[in-house]
Amino acid sequence: MDNAKKSKTPMSTTTRLDKDEQGKSVDQKLYRSMIGSLLYLTASRPDILFSVCLCARFQACPKESHLHAVKRIFKYLASYTPSLGLWYPKNSTFDLHTYSDADFGGYKVDRKSISGTCQFLGNMLISWFSKKQNSVALSPTEAEYIAAGSCCAQVIWMKQQLLHYGIIFEKVPIKCDNTSAICLGKNPVHHSRTKHIDIRYHFIKDHIERNDVELVFVPTKDQIADIFTKPLDEQSFSRFRMELGLCEID
């Protein structure tokens, strides 16, 4: 791959990986070793998290299409971003805020949605994840609401940890780009229509009532967590990558 073509994003927007049962099998040991190396790197490179997690789901029986997707991640890392790293400025503000997003039915194999969240202290990214949801969401609202519930659980844990340092936060904003999901968390009238997410509903609503968190609307164009749920075009990907705090480090 020394002379491989460069790639400006870790995954193309047209990529929709599935089991590819008719495809040609590749060396499983090689594929798993590549995935293992990339998973290790995601601890400091959140920009590749979604792509790596998607490719990691096919380790049991990897095909050529999966290997090509993994190789594109390496092309992206080697060609354009070998010196990128997270930057934590000392003059950053110290307020806790989060972003939550979901790609409805984003996983092609079983049509489960993809949750993505990230947490910031001021401008400093301190936590992030991209994860396939445990159950099939019946609507975009439900998918977004499940993602917000996961984000809420992470925020509550962080607040408890920060209490040991004498730092208290109230009404931590969870920024979501789905107005229906926000209404679902604030308005009890919607409860009778969402019995299938009853437990998640009570969990996040309880913490909203306690002023632990607050669901806040953010336009889709400003939804940073989008980078953890789906492949993005070069312009959007570069902008969100910068807003995560990734920059050139000498």
pLDDT tens-place string over residues 161-218: 988 888 888 899 999 999 988 988 877 565 555 666 666 667 888 888 888 899 999 9
Mean of pLDDT values over 25-54: 94
Query: For residue 91, is pLDDT > 90?
Result: no
Q: How far apart are CA 58 and CA 35, in angstroms?
A: 10
Q: What percent of the chain has pLDDT over 90?
A: 56
Window from 80-84, 173-177, 184-188, 220-224 with minimum mean pLDDT: 184-188
Mean of pLDDT values over 128-140: 90
Q: Give the CATH number for residue 109.
A: 3.30.420.10
Query: For residue 57, is pLDDT > 60?
Result: yes
Average pLDDT, the chain: 88
Asked if the structure places residue 90 within a domain, the reply is no
Give the count of beta carbons closer than 10 Å to the beta carbon of residue 123: 15
Q: In this structure, are 23 and 129 located in the same domain?
A: no
Among candidate residues 82, 110, 126, the one where a domain is terminated: 82
Label residue 11 by pLDDT band (50, 70, 90): very high
Q: In this structure, are 54 and 8 located in the same domain?
A: yes
State residue 192's pLDDT score: 56
The whole domain housing 141 covers 96-247
Asked if the structure places residue 190 within a domain, the reply is yes
Contacts 24+ apart (CB under 8 A), 120-127: 120/96, 121/92, 121/94, 121/95, 121/96, 122/92, 122/93, 122/94, 122/95, 123/89, 123/92, 123/93, 123/245, 124/88, 124/89, 124/92, 124/245, 125/46, 125/86, 125/244, 125/245, 126/158, 127/154, 127/158
| Domain total in the chain | 2
State residue 137's pLDDT score: 86
Asked if the structure places residue 113 within a domain, the reply is yes
Among candidate residues 53, 82, 111, the one where a domain is terminated: 82
Among candidate residues 36, 51, 82, the one where a domain is terminated: 82
Q: What percent of the chain has pLDDT over 70?
A: 94
Query: For residue 70, is pLDDT > 70?
Result: yes
Q: In this structure, are 48 and 5 located in the same domain?
A: yes
Q: In this structure, are 124 and 57 located in the same domain?
A: no
Q: In this structure, are 101 and 67 located in the same domain?
A: no
